[in-house]
Every structure is written in structure tokens, then in C-alpha cells.
């Protein structure tokens, strides 16, 4: 990759980030000096993982999207070894970093950003695309704090259920690929149920909106089973500073039933969406004192201090301390317990280690999708039967992954020790 310092009129510079299939680098268009972001994808890596179709889909999706809140694609350069995607360069950083800096946003600022996200998502849905991995880390902000959504690597053509949404779209075939990030995944995704696509994006948008105005995640746990249980139940803490209309909107988006969950059309028709313009201008400073807030709501300062938080029936009496513990105000550089498999180069690296481990222990396996593997071998107690497992890979952050191993059939105690050996070998590689 170092040999490509210049490619067809673009000078390639420093690395901006690392994606699923390659690096994103800063670039300069030599013709006029315009700054660009260049996504460099290795064809050999993509072919090794069997993701040529996914790569073609990602590029096709990106080139046909034209929206002020979606990262523009200027050009695609194909070479024998690499694909170079020339994209709009966004200077404002990630939405995640902005939330970390602000701790939480006032509702008007949060609504302004949220409306831009919904506008972009609605546009994608109108093009029969769903994102399926919406989260603050995938949402960029320009210098005026306007939203720019990128990373459509997990997009898929929407397939609606016949009779529920629209007919004659791919014969009503539904999606079932579990992908994306666990904290932002909907109940139907983590349960492996069929889904159409738009309802998954709505759930993720609900999580993002909650994070914007609360500064923390509604569902969070260091243990994956506990996190999934919280998501399936759909019960979460709502801080007292959140307005009733915002609570109602979040509750509708985080409905565990995808059929009754609010739709994009209903969301955009909501009265709150008409209270401010969509806006693509610099954000106004909406910081205000406690006294101004009290006067606006007709409260005394003492009364306001007594009721900063309210608890619901699903939370223990010390919910306030739990809320602070998951806050985005935590320093990203602060020492933290490591969770999952650390220091891997990419998803491909993790999958290769898993496959090498399965080969070592003489398992037969096949890919259900790029990040889910079914594997088996004859049972030790009965050679006529097979111990069967499923491995699902989740990405927590760059170079950190969760490998979730499930037993689908076999002797529990025998398979328990097999599972320990598999996981220990993967970690030790």
C-alpha cells in the first residue's frame, strides 16, 4: 500500500482510521487542492474472507446516495490490487467525541442533530437501503456540527414482509444477519429473528437520541448475556431532566415489538419535529443557568435541586450512581478493564484465528455469514452424535472483539471443556 503515494490525481497522506476492509487516509486532489478522505481496500483481503459481494454492495450503495447528511463519494478508482474510494473529508470528528466532550446536549441541540440523522436514514430507506450499524462512532460532524453519516459497509437492500409493509420486494424475503454493535442492536437482531430492516435503524436511532440527551446508554453491561437480557426486556432508566415529549419519543423508538415500534414516517410527522427547522447552520450556544431553567418552569431553586432525578419502578434506589458510571463523560484515555479479545488487526484477523483453532481441534465448520460460524465434531461419548456450536463475532471498538460461543446440541459438560479450550487457544494466538 505504501507504493500508492499518488493515485490518478490524488496525493495520499496520513491515516485517518481503519475500517472493516482497509484503511482510510487523508488525501489531496492535485487539480485544485481539495481535501478528501480515501478509503483503500485490499482486494486480496476481501477475497480471502469471501466478501466480494459485500464490497460491491458497499461501493454501489455509497455512490448512489446524495444527501446533505451523508458522506459524499466523489470517485472510485479500481486497480489490480486495491480499490480506492474518494470521499468527502469531514473535519469535525465523530459524534461520539462531541458527546464525550459535552457530556450531554440540551434537548434543542440534541433534536437538531437527531433530525438530521433521521433525515439521512429516511432518505436511505427511500432508496431501499438500511444502515444496520448506526451509532455515534459512525456519525461524523462537520466544522458546523452538521451530521454526516458514513460506513454503509453493513447496508443491505431492504426486503419487506409481504402483507406487513409492501409487496413484490424480493418476494417478501427478510433479513436475518446479526451485525452491528451490541449496545445499539435491537431485540430482534440479538435474538436472531427475521426483520425487515427499517425497524432496526429506528431502534438504533432511539439509542442515539437517548445518548444525546442523557449522556449514557439506556442498555449497558460488561457481561454480554446480561446486556442482551436488558435489551430484550426493553426496560431502562429515564433521568428526570428529560422532557415528557422526549420521553414519549424515546419510548416509541425503543419498543421491543418491531411491529408496533414507531416508523420513520410517524417519527417525521411527530409534533416535536415541526418545532424547529432541520437546520444546516452552526449550532447556537444553548447553555443556560439553573436559575433560568427554574424561572422558565416556575420552580424555586430549592425545589429544582430536590427533583433533579426521578426513578422508575425498574431501577434500584441507587440508580443515580449507575447512571453516572455509564456516562459518556468518562475519559476515553482513563485506565479500564479489558473486555473481549484485544489487539487484533481486523475482523479478518479474528476470523482467521477462529478458523485456525477449529482446524487444530479437528472441527468441521461452515460460515453462516461473514461473522457467524457453525462448527461440529463427533461426540466423545457417542460417535454417532455430534457436538454442535455456533460462534458469533461482535466488534466493541477498534482492535477489540467479543467472541460469543453457543452450544446448539451435545453433552453440556463435555462441551463446556471443549468451549474453554477453544476460547483459550483463540486468545493465546
Mean pLDDT per 10-residue segment, the chain (429 residues): 72 81 86 91 74 71 84 87 89 87 88 93 85 84 90 46 30 42 80 71 93 91 83 90 91 92 89 62 41 52 41 37 41 47 66 85 77 81 80 68 77 78 81
The string over 45-83, giving b where at least 16 C-beta atoms fall within 10 Å of a residue's C-beta and e elsewhere, is bbeebebeebbebbbebbeebebebbbbbbeebeeeebb
Euclidean distance between CA atoms 37 and 199, whole angstroms: 31
Kindly report the CA angle at 214 between 209 and 220, in degrees rounded to 5? 85
Q: Establish whether domains 95-325 and 341-428 are of one fold.
A: no
Helices (H), 145-195: 187-190
Q: State the pLDDT at residue 175.
A: 44
Euclidean distance between CA atoms 73 and 37, whole angstroms: 9
Q: State the pLDDT at residue 101.
A: 86
Q: What is the CATH number of domain 6-88?
A: 3.30.200.20
Q: What phi-psi label fits residue 326: left (phi over 0), alpha (psi between -120 and 50 degrees) or beta?
A: alpha
DSSP characters for 112-130?
Answer: HHHHHHHHHHHHHHHTTEE
User: At a CB cut-off of 8 Å and minimum separation 6, what does 243 contact?
Assistant: 107
CATH fold label, 95-325: Transferase(Phosphotransferase); domain 1 (1.10.510)
Q: How many CA atoms lie within 13 A of 30 on its CB side?
A: 9
Rg, C-alpha atoms of the chain: 23
| Residue in this structure with the C-alpha cell 488487526, named with its chain if needed | 345
Q: Which helix (H) or strand (E) holds 402?
A: strand 400-409
**Domains of the chain: which residue ranges?**
6-88, 95-325, 341-428
Q: State the pLDDT at residue 68.
A: 92
Using CA atoms, how far residue 318 sits from 308, 309, 310, 404, in Å, is 14, 11, 11, 31
| Residue in this structure with the C-alpha cell 483459550, named with its chain if needed | 424
Query: What's the distance, CA 212 to chain centroid?
Result: 15
* Active site residue ranges: 133
Annotated binding site for ATP: 39
Which CATH homologous superfamily contains domain 341-428? Kinase associated domain 1, KA1 (3.30.310.80)
Q: What digits encode the pLDDT tens for the residues 249-291?
A: 999 999 999 889 999 889 888 887 766 554 444 433 334 444 4
Kindly report the CA angle at 369 between 393 and 186, in degrees rounded to 5? 60
**How many distinct helices (H) and strands (E) make up the chain?**
14, 15
Q: State the pLDDT at residue 378.
A: 83
Q: State the pLDDT at residue 20.
A: 59
Q: State the pLDDT at residue 78.
A: 84
Amino acid at each position: 500500500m505504501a507504493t500508492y503515494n499518488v493515485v490518478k490525481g490524488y496525493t495520499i497522506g496520513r491515516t485517518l482510521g481503519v475500517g472493516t476492509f482497509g484503511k482510510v487516509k487523508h488525501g489531496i486532489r492535485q487539480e485544485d487542492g481539495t481535501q478528501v478522505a480515501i478509503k483503500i481496500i485490499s482486494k486480496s483481503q476481501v477475497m480471502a474472507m469471501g466478501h466480494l459481494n459485500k464490497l460491491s454492495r458497499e461501493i454501489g450503495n455509497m455512490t448512489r446516495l446524495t444527501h446533505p447528511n451523508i458522506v459524499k463519494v466523489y470517485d472510485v478508482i479500481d486497480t489490480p490490487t486495491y480499490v480506492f474510494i474518494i470521499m468527502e473529508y469531514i473535519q469535525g470528528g465523530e459524534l461520539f467525541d462531541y458527546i464525550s466532550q459535552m457530556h450531554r446536549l440540551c434537548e434543542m441541540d440534541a433534536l437538531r442533530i437527531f433530525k438530521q440523522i433521521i433525515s439521512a436514514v429516511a432518505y436511505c430507506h427511500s432508496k431501499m437501503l438500511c444502515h444496520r450499524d448506526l451509532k455515534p462512532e459512525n456519525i461524523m460532524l462537520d466544522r458546523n456540527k452538521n451530521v454526516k453519516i458514513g460506513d454503509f459497509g453493513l447496508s443491505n437492500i431492504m426486503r419487506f414482509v409481504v402483507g406487513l409493509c409492501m409487496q413484490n420486494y424480493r418476494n417478501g424475503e427478510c433479513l436475518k444477519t446479526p451485525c452491528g454493535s451490541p449496545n445499539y442492536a435491537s431485540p430482534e437482531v440479538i435474538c436472531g429473528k427475521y426483520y425487515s430492516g427499517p425497524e432496526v435503524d429506528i431502534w438504533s436511532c432511539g439509542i442515539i437520541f437517548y445518548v444525546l440527551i442523557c449522556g449514557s446508554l439506556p442498555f449497558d453491561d460488561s457481561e454480554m448475556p446480561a446486556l442482551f437480557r436488558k435489551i430484550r426486556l426493553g426496560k431502562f432508566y429515564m433521568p428526570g431532566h428529560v422532557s415528557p415529549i422526549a420521553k414519549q419519543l424515546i419510548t416509541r423508538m425503543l419498543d421491543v415489538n418491531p411491529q408496533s415500534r414507531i416508523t420513520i414516517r410517524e417519527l417525521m410527522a411527530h409534533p416535536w419535529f415541526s418545532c424547529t427547522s432541520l437546520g444546516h447552520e452552526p449550532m447556537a450556544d444553548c447553555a443556560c443557568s439553573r436559575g433560568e431553567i427554574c424561572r422558565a418552569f416556575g420552580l424555586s431553586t430549592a425545589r429544582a435541586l430536590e427533583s433533579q432525578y426521578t426513578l422508575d419502578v425498574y431501577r434500584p434506589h441507587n440508580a443515580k450512581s449507575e447512571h453516572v458510571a455509564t456516562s459518556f463523560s468518562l475519559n476515553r484515555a482513563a485506565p479500564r478493564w479489558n473486555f473481549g479479545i484485544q489487539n487484533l488487526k481486523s475482523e479478518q484477523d479474528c476470523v482467521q484465528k477462529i478458523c485456525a483453532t477449529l482446524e487444530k481441534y479437528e472441527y468441521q465448520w461452515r460460515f453462516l455469514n461473514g461473522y457467524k460460524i457453525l462448527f461440529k465434531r463427533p461426540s466423545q461419548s457417542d460417535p454417532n452424535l455430534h457436538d454442535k456450536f455456533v460462534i458469533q463475532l461482535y466488534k466493541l471498538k477498534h482492535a477489540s472483539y467479543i467472541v460469543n460461543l453457543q452450544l446448539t446440541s451435545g453433552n453440556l459438560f463435555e462441551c463446556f471443556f471443549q468451549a474453554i479450550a477453544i476460547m483459550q487457544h483463540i486468545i493465546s494466538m
